[in-house]
Amino acid sequence: MRYLILSDIHANWEALQAVLRHTRRRKFERILFLGDAVGYGASPNQVVDWLRSQGRRAVIVRGNHDRVCAGLESAVTFNRYAREATHWTHQHLSPRNLEFLQTLPVGPLEVEEDLVVCHGSPVDEDEYIFSVADAGDALSVTPATVVFFGHTHIPSIFMARMVDGHELFQIRLLSGHRNVLDLEADCRYLINPGSVGQPRDRDPAASYAVYDHGRRRLYHYRVGYPVQAARRRIHQAGLPPVLGDRLQYGA
Ligand SMILES: [Fe+2]
């Protein structure tokens, strides 16, 4: 089975369209979406319409922005710009898309016996995995050998190898526009495919992955998209301009 792995689209339709065009030459059977369909960008309905249209082909977990934009929780913990975007998104989502977001499952979800997906961490959807300590906590609550996560918007891999009864970690940040990695049989992995719609690793290109489960092979890609069009639409929508401006820098 080959999976298309997408995360953190954040209502950026221009970025999602570019990724979908890029995937036309790549084979996959199912889609794993790691949460944060909406929040920040100007196209929440287009993005959620597309997710809904995938039906059972897609396994979707909700993200913290999906939860708050859907009105399941207040935005009090968000910064000012995220709060304004949450309010705008809630006002603009169609009733059908609001309901879809309200009923999304909370991760972690087991996709296959050894394959799990979540938004922040298997520990909690709001947890960030930035460090080896975070990664250790995350793998301690699941027997999975491969966990896909999002939330940090940083394409990265944490590899855990068992040495003398302890898991030792290596961290790799994924840079460049194409990476192909064969996962080692005796290691466990936490893998972040990066963000489709709001990258934060100083590369503005949309980020995604394809995973060949049978071969344990990961393909990671970056795809350029019309950033200025997405930025302009954020400005025209009356969203905080900084949310459009940051797309230019991948920050
Ligand atoms: Fe996010």
Report the distance separating Cα 99 and Cα 81, nearest Å.
24
pLDDT by residue (tens digit) across 150-179? 999 999 999 999 999 889 999 999 999 999
Ligand 1 centroid to Cα of residue 24, in Å, is 25
C-beta separation of 30 from 3 below 8 A: yes
User: Which residues lie below 8 Å from residue 96, measured CB to CB, with a gap of 6+?
Assistant: 52
Q: Is the dihedral of CA 38, 205, 126, 34 positive or negative?
A: positive
The reported pLDDT for the residue numbered 214 is: 96
pLDDT by residue (tens digit) across 206-240? 999 999 999 999 999 999 999 999 999 999 999 99
Ligand 1 centroid to Cα of residue 127, in Å, is 12
**Residues of the chain above pLDDT 70, percent:** 100
Ligand 1 centroid to Cα of residue 217, in Å, is 25
Ligand 1 centroid to Cα of residue 15, in Å, is 14
Task: Indicate which CATH number applies to the domain containing 154.
Answer: 3.60.21.10
The reported pLDDT for the residue numbered 38 is: 98
**Confidence at 133, pLDDT banded by 50, 70, 90:** very high
Question: Which of 32, 93, 30, 31 lies closest to 66 in space, CA to CA?
Answer: 93
The reported pLDDT for the residue numbered 156 is: 98
pLDDT by residue (tens digit) across 47-104? 999 999 999 999 999 999 999 999 999 999 999 999 999 999 999 999 999 999 999 9
Domains in the chain: how many in total? Answer: 1
Question: Which of 147, 164, 48, 62 lies closest to 106 in space, CA to CA?
Answer: 62
* Summary mean pLDDT of the chain: 97
Ligand 1 centroid to Cα of residue 164, in Å, is 36
Ligand 1 centroid to Cα of residue 7, in Å, is 8
Domain of 143?
Answer: 2-248
The reported pLDDT for the residue numbered 232 is: 98
Q: What is 188-228 written as a DSSP string?
A: EEEEE---SS---SS--SEEEEEEETTTTEEEEEEE---HH
Ligand 1 centroid to Cα of residue 199, in Å, is 9
Classified as helix, coil or strand, 23 is: helix
pTM of the model: 0.97
Question: Which of 233, 169, 177, 230 lies closest to 201 in space, CA to CA?
Answer: 177
